[in-house]
Amino acid sequence: MVRTAHAFLVGSITTLIVAVIAFIGGWTAARAIGDDGFHTFVTSKLADRSGERSTPVEVRDQFMVFWDVWALVQQEFYRTEPLDEQALVYGAIRGMLQALNDDYTAFQEPEAAAQTRESMEGKFEGIGAYLRVVEDEIVIERPIKNSPAMKAGLQDNDVIVKVDGTELAPLIAGLSEADAAAKAASLIRGPKGTVVRLTIRRPPATMPFEIDITRDEVPLISVNAYMLDDQIAYIQITEFKATTTASLDEALRELLPQQPVGLVLDLRNNPGGFLTTAQEVLGRFYEGTALYEEDSTGNMQELRTLPGPLDTRVYDLPMVVLVNGGSASASEIVAGGLRDRRPGTVLLGEQTFGKGSVQNIHRLRDNSSLRITIAQWFTPNREQIQSTGITPTYEVPFAQDPIYAVPCLGDQQPPEGQTTCNDAQLNWGLRVLTTDATPPLPEPAPTEESAGDS
């Protein structure tokens, strides 16, 4: 769950960047005068510079140790090419954040940060394909429906060898999978109406071919909706983006006039998104407390639902919410709120992920970004979610046995020889809404007395 803030980071990171500039000036001067006492020069002269003077007094001594290390790297590290000082600064920032021991406080360099911002806005300009890294190659995981990539004929598992004649392999060598995918995406994306030429290899063939694709605005679909048999409405939310609420309203305006008798809300494998979007989604299903936030001082703040237009409110319809271990953050806010405050709602599936912390996102001066944890959240009944998750009313493991037949939705295809798909959780969700059947209780864990063979 995130909040956004377009602000400059102050304090230590600002001081760090300013001090880098101060250091470089001092280092250049030292080299020019041939001072053998370089270490002494750095540690003493930096104290007279504005960057050092602006360092908070309580951490000034600790920062001097950083500059000692910086100076020694500059002076002694063996290299055949100039040091990438920007990479060193970014590495120092990452190291500082890692020392917080919080998985959700993180730094993104400008390229990756720009792509994250575009994704959360719910649209971007490019060809419309999800990428992954396989054996140091950029592979198309799948084209987005109705995107330029799909219309051009790109397929799952196509390997992108070149972008506009530039080979990708040397550019991504040594990068993490995330950074490699971000690097490739930065080359492939571009303004609407421009053309990108991709060199593609389609396994098992070994000979590549070229394809020109005209970029366009690509919407990222986060809401899928269908009317199923027995007048059951089905809505899947895949992520809580800036465009999700509008898409949900559109889906409700299509489904509600068909007079459904029940609703399945599928939040499985939804990793979360914007806090405000979660409040808006909850506002379509009830009015009241959405969650509580607790800050570092222990202050607990109530956050309420954000109601939608009258024709999008579904306050009374029986409802089943599907969750699993991939349901996290904003998904858990919605699941917990519906469970605690909306009568006629049943949670079904598996224990959720347990990500109950709130992050502010700061856009920094070079368009990099900092995501920093500011609070933890609790359900309307004040139950903590962090590291615990939400336990559904009915625990049903995912299974695809033929006895759990359900309609094939979206891009799903039935197994060979069948006309339906199989999904135990959706199957039981539909049965809960249309019959008096309920899933069997899970087998109790064996006690010490009964464990083992007799």
Q: Which residues are catalytic?
A: 329, 355, 359
Tell me how far apart the alpha carbons of residues 421 and 224 are, in angstroms, rounded to a whole number.
Answer: 17
The continuous run of DSSP H or E covering 66 comes out as helix 60-76
Q: Find the radius of gyration of the CA atoms of the chain.
A: 27
In single-letter form, the type of residue at position 83 comes to: L
Give the burial class of 207: count Cβ atoms within 10 A of its Cβ; 0-12 exposed, 13-18 middle, 19 or more buried: exposed
User: For residues 374 and 360, is the Cβ–Cβ distance under 8 A?
Assistant: yes
Helix (H, G, I), strand (E, B) or coil at 182: helix
Q: How far apart (Å, rounded) are the C-alpha atoms in residues 390 and 447?
A: 24
Q: Are 189 and 125 in contact (CB under 8 A)?
A: yes
Quickly list H helices, 312-438.
330-341, 424-434
Helix (H, G, I), strand (E, B) or coil at 352: coil
Contact criterion met (CB below 8 Å) for 278 and 240? yes
Which three-class secondary structure state does DSSP give residue 109? coil
Instruction: Return the percent helix, strand and coil in the chain, to nearest 5.
Output: 35, 25, 40
Instruction: Report the C-alpha dihedral over residues 144, 147, 149, 155, rounded to 10 degrees.
Output: 40
- Find all residues with CB under 8 Å of 203, minimum gap 6, and list them: 157, 159
Nearest to 333 by CA among 360, 387, 284, 293: 293
Q: What is the DSSP letter of 255?
A: H
